[in-house]
Amino acid sequence: MKEPQDYRQLFDLDGRHALVIGGGGGIGAASALGLADFGAGITVADIDLAAAERTVSRLRERGKEGTALVLDISDEAAVDEAIASLPALDVLVCTPAVNVRKRLLEYSAEEFDRVIGLNLRGSFFVMRAAGRRMAAQRRGSIILFSSIRAQVVEAGQGVYAATKAASLQLIRALAAELAPDGVRANAVAPGVVETSLTAPIKSNEAWYHAYADRSALGRWADPSEMVGAVVYLASDASSYVTGTLQLVDGGWTAVDGRFQPPL
């Protein structure tokens, strides 16, 4: 890529179209708004159509345009149809995940299948469909939301962590396979973010504060704090970045333990 006349142009997404899956709320909604602010056209997909439409309304309040789409990523045919129906696809952001916080010895087969089915199988359907389309057009950026649980784990997080580690390896393989076609694939790993997925933790004051204290910054993240990584990975600013795990975790994985030594 030639050196730009103005390096701010590296983040310009004018003329590009992004599909944000899970865009009805939380990190997905923030990602849709952020990408739109940098010029991208947006399709907001969510299993809850009303939630997707609310995000589109927020886009329009900011003077941006967007389209809402109902999508369950665990439905293979629906994923293929949705991605084929888009007018264009330059950026794919996939955020949906489910977690059953339970010790492994207490996990049921149904719970195991539910977590694996959405987090891993569903993510695979999305990566495959988007990858095929982007490879055919020889450009594109795939951004999957992983988690710090792809790197570290605790009691009650085993199956969820396994899906996040596995989907990260799929992203890395996709990056290797699609690089010759001009397609990049990366993952973002948040720490603790205030979303509906983490609501059960927030409702327990001791648990909530323990997680806040675990990070170097001493607090939880807001969904908006994930947007910088998404825009970076979607744009030409990351043109030489593929196959990575972008940690946005407040220092969680860098800091050893919760105890502050009396130095």
Query: Which class for 89: exposed (0-12), middle (13-18), buried (19 or more C-beta within 10 A)?
Result: buried
Domain edges within the chain = 14-246
For tokens 């790993």, the residue is 189
Active-site amino acid positions: 160
Residue 200: predicted pLDDT: 81
The 140-145 sheet, strands edge to edge: 66-70, 41-46, 17-21, 91-94, 140-145, 183-190, 245-248
Print pLDDT tens along the chain (263 aa): 677 779 999 999 999 999 999 999 999 999 999 999 999 999 999 999 999 999 999 999 999 999 999 999 999 999 999 999 999 999 999 999 999 999 999 999 999 999 999 999 999 999 999 999 999 999 999 999 999 999 999 899 999 999 999 999 999 999 999 999 999 999 999 999 998 777 888 888 888 888 888 899 999 999 999 999 999 999 999 999 999 999 999 999 998 766 565 65
Residue 260: predicted pLDDT: 60
**Dist CA 194 CA 232 (whole Å):** 22
25-62 as b/e, with b when 16 or more CB fall inside 10 Å? Answer: bbbbbbbbbbbbebebbbbbbbbeeebbbbbbebbeee
- 3-class DSSP state for residue 18? strand
**Dist CA 209 CA 43 (whole Å):** 36
Residue 97: predicted pLDDT: 95
**Dist CA 256 CA 135 (whole Å):** 41
Read off the amino acid at residue 24.
G
For tokens 């309304």, the residue is 57
Phi-psi region of 154 (alpha: psi -120 to 50; beta: other; left: phi over 0): beta
CB neighbours of 109 closer than 8 A, spacing ≥ 6? none
Beta bridge partners of 18: 42, 91
Domain topology for 14-246: Rossmann fold (3.40.50)
